Amino acid sequence: MAKRRLMVVAMIPDASLDAFIVALPKVELHVHLIGSASVATVLELARRHPDGGVPTNEEELRAFYAFTDFRHFARVYAAVNALVREPEDVAALVLGLARDLSEQGARYAELQVTPYAHHQVGMPMREVTEALDGAARRAPVEYGVEMAYIFDIPGEYGVEAAEVTLAHALEEPPAALVGFGLGGIEQERPPYRDAFRDAFAAARAAGLHSVPHGGEMTGPETIWEVVDGLGAERVGHGISCLQDDRLVARLRERQLPLDVCPTSNVRTGQVARIEDHPLPRLLEEGLFVTLGSDDPPMFATTLADEYRTVARAFGFGREELASFARNGVTASYLAADRKRALLAEIDALAATG
């Protein structure tokens, strides 16, 4: 694909563009279960479990979410995760995300779930799976949003986390499980490379798609590992690929999707300002990019807000925003007929302008 040269012009989306963003049929491919918990939900859980160390009033909780770097974010995320102690909590988070996405014009989400976190607080696999299955059945009926799941390994927890995640994926999978991922602190992965490779090989052999994080807080070497070592079909973040021309050429040739989360990258300190985000250059290089929200309430964003943010920061209009939506649908693991229907809706909406 030829490189595209973009003109970056700061602007504020007008009312008609904002209405277009809301109406645009969108899919969310990069969002985490715990990170999707609304402020109201976290406050409810914190008050229910005051021993968890999470603030129980809104002002203090929002200050709690003022991250200094990724490690600080990881500690806060772990504290919130520890509040999710019952299967009913898991189901409530899934349905809360479905409700929130429905208000933004989203139709489908691939939600990243970390079974190891639930294992640590003593929830049996079967109960977690039943909660996920029940929520996935209710979400389309109640909110018009189809939910699928990706089980991800928190990388810093090493071999045990890989084994627990794989066991859950193979022995007690929810019906809507489509993928296998790897997240957490990238710098702490190397000692466990072989364990992760083995887990991904087994998951892929079972028919799951490989969707690990890479190149969010480390350099291109992490992306090379998830592509060559883990067989990645999509890469979470991937923004450091621009440091390696050979890697950019590989990603461009294969049109390997990068699930880019601009606000997340700013809030965790990977990018200084949204205006400095490499998104325009990723597009100029002809790379395949989707937009995701990552951990939306923690980062004070939504999926629709990510579209608004890039429109404001980089001057993207209807066609560029529609392209992000098309890419999301194309990169998703939706059934082919659902993809065709959503792509037709996007094209019809884009043509009205």
List the domains of the chain with CATH numbers. 15-34+89-351 (3.20.20.140)
* pLDDT tens-digit map of 311-333: 999 999 999 999 999 999 999 99
Q: What is the total residue count of the chain?
A: 353
Are 170 and 133 in contact by the 8 Å Cβ rule? The answer is no
Q: Using pLDDT thresholds of 50, 70 and 90, give the confidence band for residue 43.
A: confident
Give the bridge partners for 183, in sequence order.
154
28 catalytic residue (yes or no): no
Which tokens in the block code for residue 102? 């429905």
Closest of 270, 262, 272, 349 to residue 314, by C-alpha: 262
State the DSSP string of 75-139: HHHHHHHTT--SHHHHHHHHHHHHHHHHTTTEEEEEEEE-HHHHHHTT--HHHHHHHHHHHHHHH
Which pTM value belongs to this model?
0.91
* pLDDT tens-digit map of 155-208: 999 999 999 999 999 999 999 999 999 999 999 999 999 999 999 999 999 999
Residue type, 300: A
Instruction: Classify 336 as helix, strand or coil.
Output: helix
Of the residues 146, 186, 216, 306, only one is catalytic, namely: 216
Within 13 Å, how many C-alpha atoms sit on residue 153's CB side? Answer: 35
